[in-house]
Amino acid sequence: MADCSLDLPGSSSPPSHLSLLRSWDHRRVPPCPALQGTPLSATLSLVMSQCCRKIKDTVQKLASDHKDIHSSVSRVGKAIDRNFDSEICGVVSDAVWDAREQQQQILQMAIVEHLYQQGMLSVAEELCQESTLNVDLDFKQPFLELNRILEALHEQDLGPALEWAVSHRQRLLELNSSLEFKLHRLHFIRLLAGGPAKQLEALSYARHFQPFARLHQREIQVMMGSLVYLRLGLEKSPYCHLLDSSHWAEICETFTRDACSLLGLSVESPLSVSFASGCVALPVLMNIKAVIEQRQCTGVWNHKDELPIEIELGMKCWYHSVFACPILRQQTSDSNPPIKLICGHVISRDALNKLINGGKLKCPYCPMEQNPADGKRIIF
């Protein structure tokens, strides 16, 4: 039988079946002399029809899969264009960056403090060396001690934390902290987990609960009651919750919170708080900027320390009280502090100056007239 194979010109490698089918044109292929006028048998015709059907189904499936993939990939690009703005510096006044060196030093200090607070001491030291930032040992010491104790707690070593809590007992009591009691309770639970062999040691250690009996009476009763089931095993007793591993995560969180409060540090670093707040506020500020540019409003946003609207960041970001003037509907600041009038009402200094008439001031909430000089600045 003569050779009926197809040779594609210009191809250095054998073509795939799919490309071969797509490039095949029966009108351009010379007929094979040996098969001219020879009818196909029923079996060969059936095989050929099945092969054509399989090829057609495969091509359709590949085209459908390609369409789905192409649709998903095209949506990714549109999502990126929709959610990412190439220019976000416009939401910040240029005056913010006037003192560039000072701003850079503040930013570097915030990064170093964040690294210290996260326990990345070596990274913080490397950044200080490369940025020539001088950090006092007094600034680093609280973070070093905090991370040393936390590392011990993560390894279920209560010794350093108990030593620190005992040495700061009076100050912790002033903060109404239960840290020392929780540390003693966790140590007592570890003794209970040792079984009957640790029963006498657990009873002896229970004397540490005496100073906390008034405030934690119920919890102490629960722990002492668990001794009854010690020989049977606490795992199958009503006190099995005492062996929950979540107590270790809770003690780490309690220690971090109380230690930071005692040392005058925030639980979360200023950098992480600023970043989280920026993620919430940035979309709102960009929408405001777009509206201002669209309506060509000038002078609406020209103060570097003041935003054009109030942005709600949630209760998590409430750190101190703020006062908004009930007359001008503006938040007070150092240049425009709140002033308490003789009648007891509080307004801003700008509102007070605008309400002065003939050297006298009439309270906007009551008819009492008074001397503007009698108003006193208050601090919340």
Together in a domain, 242 and 330: no
Neighbours of 364 (CB within 10 A): 14
Q: Band of the pLDDT at 288, cuts 50, 70, 90?
A: confident
pLDDT tens across 186-214, in order? 999 888 888 888 889 988 988 988 888 88
Beta strands in the chain (DSSP E): 338-340, 346-348, 356-357, 360-362, 369-370, 376-377
pLDDT at 55: 92
Contact 205, 187 (CB under 8 A): yes
pLDDT tens across 251-277, in order? 999 998 898 888 887 788 888 888 888
Measured CA to CA in angstroms, residue 21 lies from 18, 26, 31, 279 at distances of: 5, 10, 17, 54
Task: Average the pLDDT over 98-113 and give the result.
Answer: 81
Together in a domain, 233 and 325: no
Lowest-pLDDT range of 13-17, 48-52, 66-70, 304-308: 13-17
Question: The tokens of 371 are what?
Answer: 């001397």
Return the residue matching tokens 């059907």: 53
- Final residue before a domain boundary, out of 228, 247, 263: 263
How many structural domains compose the chain? 2
* 21 has a pLDDT exceeding 60: no
Together in a domain, 142 and 235: yes
The domain containing residue 357 runs over which residues?
321-377
* 92 has a pLDDT exceeding 50: yes
Q: Cα torsion for 58, 62, 63, 65, to the nearest 10°? A: 140
Measured CA to CA, the distance from residue 144 to residue 212 in angstroms comes to 30
pLDDT at 365: 84
Q: Identify which has the larger pLDDT, 125 or 12.
A: 125
Query: pTM of the entire structure?
Result: 0.56
Contact 173, 183 (CB under 8 A): no
* 113 has a pLDDT exceeding 70: yes
312 falls within a domain:
no
**Which class for 87: exposed (0-12), middle (13-18), buried (19 or more C-beta within 10 A)?**
exposed
**Which class for 132: exposed (0-12), middle (13-18), buried (19 or more C-beta within 10 A)?**
exposed
pLDDT at 85: 62
pLDDT at 186: 92
Together in a domain, 231 and 345: no
Q: Which residues of 11-34 are buried (b: 16+ CB within 10 A; e: fewer)?
A: eeeeeeeeeeeeeeeeeeeeeeee
1 falls within a domain:
no
Together in a domain, 244 and 140: yes
Q: Band of the pLDDT at 160, cuts 50, 70, 90?
A: very high
